[in-house]
């Protein structure tokens, strides 16, 4: 199979339509043919020699299609969108929002693993009593556009749902003891 996948030419026989050749000359022709195949270069045959394939080429055997099908099956088993592992078979997405795709990937594929790891690392035998461990997926992987975040914060401030200190903390701009910042009432 290794030879079949590495060479585009299918296995076959060289048929002599001319006079019979001595065994040494036949062996020389076969050795030259084999050498050309290993180098993946084009081989030359005289008018009395004819190459006849006896098997299918890797393309005919659909090796690439088999690899794609295997990748797609692995993606399905792991509950991962196929495009994350370059398995483009049956990929019918026409348009999607990157942020929505990430949220869906996190919720459907990663959440069980993340929750199991967080729960285990938050147990008292690993982490001090009263402390919990959480993945910070919001600050990088799921972080939305800065203007969208600021619009949401501005709306929350105008409705009085949060203070300026809380808004600054949401954007990692905690005043760190700065007493000059006042809250909007």
Residue 40: the pLDDT is 64
| CA-to-CA dists, residue 176 to 35, 41, 139, 173, angstroms | 73, 69, 19, 8
Tens digit of pLDDT for each residue in 139-150?
777 777 778 888
Residue 39: the pLDDT is 77
Q: Which two tokens stand for residue 7?
A: 């060479």
Continuous segment of H or E residues that includes residue 52: strand 49-53
Cα 166 to Cα 150: distance, rounded to the nearest angstrom:
13
Q: Which two tokens stand for residue 58?
A: 């890797």
Tens digit of pLDDT for each residue in 28-50?
888 887 887 777 666 777 888 88
Residue 37: the pLDDT is 75
For 143, phi and psi rounded to 5 degrees?
-65, 130
């Amino acid at each position: 199979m290794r030879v079949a996948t590495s060479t585009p030419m299918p296995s076959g026989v060289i048929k002599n339509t001319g006079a019979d050749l001595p065994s040494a000359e036949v062996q020389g022709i076969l050795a030259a043919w084999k050498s050309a195949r290993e180098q993946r270069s084009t081989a030359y045959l005289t008018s009395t020699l004819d190459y006849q394939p006896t098997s299918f080429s890797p393309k005919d055997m659909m090796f690439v299609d088999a690899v794609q099908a295997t990748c797609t099956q692995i993606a399905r088993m792991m509950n991962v969108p196929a495009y994350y592992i370059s398995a483009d078979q049956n990929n019918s997405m026409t348009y999607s929002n990157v942020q929505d795709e990430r949220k869906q990937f996190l919720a459907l594929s990663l959440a069980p693993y993340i929750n199991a790891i967080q729960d285990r690392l938050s147990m008292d035998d690993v982490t001090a009593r009263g402390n919990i461990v959480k993945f910070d997926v919001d600050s990088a992987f799921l972080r939305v556009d800065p203007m969208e975040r600021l619009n949401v914060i501005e709306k929350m401030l105008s409705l009085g749902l949060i203070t300026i200190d809380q808004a600054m903390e949401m954007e990692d701009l905690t005043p760190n003891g700065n007493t000059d910042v006042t809250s909007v009432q």
